[in-house]
Structure 1
Amino acid sequence: MKRVASLRVLALLLVLTGAVSACATGTDAVVQGGTFEFVTPGGKTEIFYDPPSERGTIGNISGPDLMVDGKTTSLSDFAGQPVVVNLWGQWCGPCRGEADDLETVFENTKDLGVAFLGINVRDPQRDKAQDFVTDNHVSYPSVWDPSMRTLTALGGKFPTSVIPSTLVLDREHRVAAVFLKALLAEDLQPVVERVAREQ
């Protein structure tokens, strides 16, 4: 009986470790008719789409604003701006690790017109996710999406098991880069600056 209980605990820990860690992989996406469609991951954690004419667009991410009751926050709020979209959860250790780096890049690229949009996933307790934002001094908005419904805007093929994930969108909201890992400011900022300066 003890051994069965131990095996169950071990199995649960393995599942949680897989869900929480940013250890998943990525391969590539394809563009079909101008639509971004992610293909099954296969090893890469940084994926870039160039030239811009070959990038695909995603649908409009939209949902309840995490911090403001009754407000809807949408990708379309940032028309004509490059947008960094970050998928995160307060339960995710790597998300805590990258929060200050994301905030640094946000502050450093605001003058280039760059916007940031978080998507808070798998957090059924809104107050805990709000505490994460407050404790980590995150100043950009997030959509509260415990059920991950907003991710249908990513075509339904994006690897939703990889949290955190970050997408860099150009001014037409085409996907310029995907990161399937926790980020440091020095990883993200050069990419964001390059995309923001594209004509």
Structure 2
Amino acid sequence: MSPARLVSLSGVRGLRKGSQALVVLAVLVLAACGTGTDAVEQGGTFDFVSPGGKTAIFYDPPADRGTIGKMSGPDLMTDGKTTSLSDFAGKAVVINLWGQWCGPCRGEAGDLEKVYENTKDLGVAFLGINVKDYQQDKARDFVTDNNVSYPSIYDPAMRSLIALGGNFPTSVIPTTIVLDRSHRVAAVFLKSLVAQELQTVVERVAKEQQ
């Protein structure tokens, strides 16, 4: 977020908070580089703006949308495999942040799978980001028990969210992000979803002319 926008949102206090956010982000970037186990990069243009209590945020027109940074990491279900957002070039992508410890995540899992099955032939991909699950076997059990057929990145430390910039809320799980075919952010849902609500948005975004 630029200094001008920070001032317009909350004045000097916003600048102070923005500086703190940049420091935290810098620490996260250094930590990611230091481990040598993460393949997360910045470089996107997406700038999440606090929605004032809204749980469904839409970014239109498409020309005004920002792109997220490069995102990749260990595949949850396959040892030694890396899964990346770039695997889905040219497709609309639904990114879902989830954890097996999260009750609402369990509630929406079937709905997300349903939308995935209903839209994958339209050129839509789904990508899960498994967060705060430090026991990988439990996260894998969640996938198996809920018949989730799309891939997830295993990211207990939430380092992949660096690709969303330093201003994106990390405390709301589940979160679902809908990217258009150019991988620009078209919608963000800070809540659990039902199939009909998500599918309407996904179909609209998939049909857009890029």
Common fold, TM-score beyond 0.5? yes
Give the drift of 1:60: 1.4
Richer in helix (by share) = 2
What RMSD in Å do the two structures reach over aligned CA positions?
1.2
Give the drift of 1:166: 0.3
> Aligned partner of 2:120: which letter?
K
Q: 1:194 aligns with which of 195, 204, 208?
A: 204
Q: Does 1:143 align with 2:156?
A: no
The alignment partner of 2:149 has SS state of coil
What TM-score, normalized by structure 1, do the two folds share?
0.82
Counterpart position of 1:17: none
Pair 1:61–1:183, CA change in 2 (3 A)? same
Task: Give deviations 1:78-110, integer Å, cap 9, x for gaps.
Answer: 001000000000000000000000000000001
The alignment partner of 1:35 has SS state of coil
Distance (Å, rounded) in 2 between the aligned partners of 1:137 and 1:93: 16
Distance (Å, rounded) in 1 between the aligned partners of 2:139 and 2:166: 24
> 2:95–2:126: 8 Å Cα contact kept in structure 1?
yes
Counterpart position of 2:47: 37
Give the drift of 1:40: 3.4
Counterpart position of 2:86: 76
Distance (Å, rounded) in 1 between the aligned partners of 2:106 and 2:138: 13
> 1:88–1:119: 8 Å Cα contact kept in structure 2?
yes
Give the drift of 1:37: 1.4
Distance (Å, rounded) in 2 between the aligned partners of 1:40 and 1:47: 10
> Aligned partner of 2:83: which letter?
T
> 1:36–1:57: 8 Å Cα contact kept in structure 2?
yes
**Which stretches in structure 2 are left out of the alignment for 5+ residues?**
1-42
Distance (Å, rounded) in 2 between the aligned partners of 1:104 and 1:166: 15
**Which stretches in structure 1 are left out of the alignment for 5+ residues?**
1-32
> Which stretches of structure 1, 4 residues or more, deviate above 4 A after TM superposition?
none
> 1:34–1:55: 8 Å Cα contact kept in structure 2?
no
Counterpart position of 2:64: 54
Give the drift of 1:39: 2.6
Counterpart position of 2:13: none
Distance (Å, rounded) in 2 between the aligned partners of 1:100 and 1:174: 26
What TM-score, normalized by structure 2, do the two folds share?
0.78
